[in-house]
Amino acid sequence: MSATIETVRAAPGLAGYLEAVEERLAETVASHAGVVAEVGGDALSSGGKRLRPVLAFLSAPEDAEPPVTAGVAVELVHMATLVHDDLIDGARVRRGRAAAWTAHGVEAAQAAGDYLFARAFAELAAEGDEEAVATLADASLALARGEAMQRRQRHDPDTPVEEYLERCALKTGKLFEAACVLGGGSAAYGRLLGVAFQIADDILDCAGDTIETGKVPGADLRDGTPTLPLLLAARADEVVRAALAGGPLEGVLVRVAATGALERSRQIALDYARRAREALDGSDRRAALEALADAVVDRDA
């Protein structure tokens, strides 16, 4: 994985672009002093891969002005969803730190998530680009639909894999797509890459190292969220099936691994990554985008 990550990070101008995005994120989050800015600042300082701004940059033509506003806007939406998701899921930890709602309270976290969403659209609106605002609005609507779908699927081991993949496309793929489109690149690449990324995330939840991921493995199982590895394992193991439906959880992750579901899920993620690479057409930074498609699957965090 390190070689592909290095290929991405070596893209000319990327380091300076990410510095500019980080600076602007700090400015916009702090623009209205108060509790919501404080909570937003905590969310910002917890870090992250900044993958969506990276996508916006890599999707832009090399001779174009770096899409700093696009990168800031998509990252703000992503941050907002993390704050809200932790609250909805009851997750107490985010990237090894206390989640916003546990550190500041439920109401403050709700308000901060809304604030981050609003700041995202304020950034784009200031540019006067109605099409860009519409693109991000469409992605935000998809995020809400994906969250609603996840709530409906909770504790359902009979969730069709196709519906799980649709959820991935809505909850993750659509914002990846928006990042690419706002940068000037391929919508299909972003959407397919997002699905590959989410499947890889769900595999890590079953088998990842807490030190690397910053999360305790098994969160999806405890929450009853039917992910690809859990659904595939539930088809082969009645104990896994019962656990996903709300039954006892002890020893279940070991049983998930024993079914081969993790490797089968990885192969599906790799197929989405391959399709994402094939969706690239004439991009100035094609090598870096292709490397990124590999990196999102072969990672440990």
Look at the chain and count its residues: 301
pLDDT of residue 95: 57
CB-hemisphere CA count at 13 Å for 38? 7
pTM of the shown model: 0.91
Backbone angles phi, psi at 98, to 5 degrees: -60, 135
How far does CA 155 lie from the centroid of its chain?
A: 22
Return per-residue pLDDT of the chain as tens, 301 residues. Answer: 444 666 787 889 999 999 999 999 999 988 877 777 777 777 777 767 899 999 999 999 999 999 999 999 999 999 898 887 777 666 655 655 666 656 666 777 888 889 899 999 999 999 999 999 999 999 999 999 999 999 999 999 999 999 999 999 999 999 999 999 999 999 999 999 999 999 999 999 998 664 344 557 898 999 999 999 999 999 999 999 999 999 999 999 999 999 999 999 999 999 999 999 999 987 889 999 999 999 999 887 7
Ordered DSSP codes for 126-192: TTT-HHHHHHHHHHHHHHHHHHHHHHHHTT-TT--HHHHHHHHIIIIIHHHHHHHHHHTS-HHHHHH
Whether residue 143 contacts residue 171, with contact meaning beta carbons closer than 8 Å, is answered with: yes
Name residue, tokens 């799980």.
Answer: 164
pLDDT score of 102: 66
Please answer whether residues 60 and 66 qualify as being in contact, where contact means their C-beta atoms are separated by less than 8 angstroms: yes
What pLDDT is recorded for position 237? Answer: 98
CA distance 238 to 240: 5
CA distance linking residue 273 with residue 280, whole number of Å: 11
> CA nearest 69: which of 57, 58, 51?
57
Residue position matching structure tokens 């623009």: 31
How high is the pLDDT of residue 39?
Answer: 78
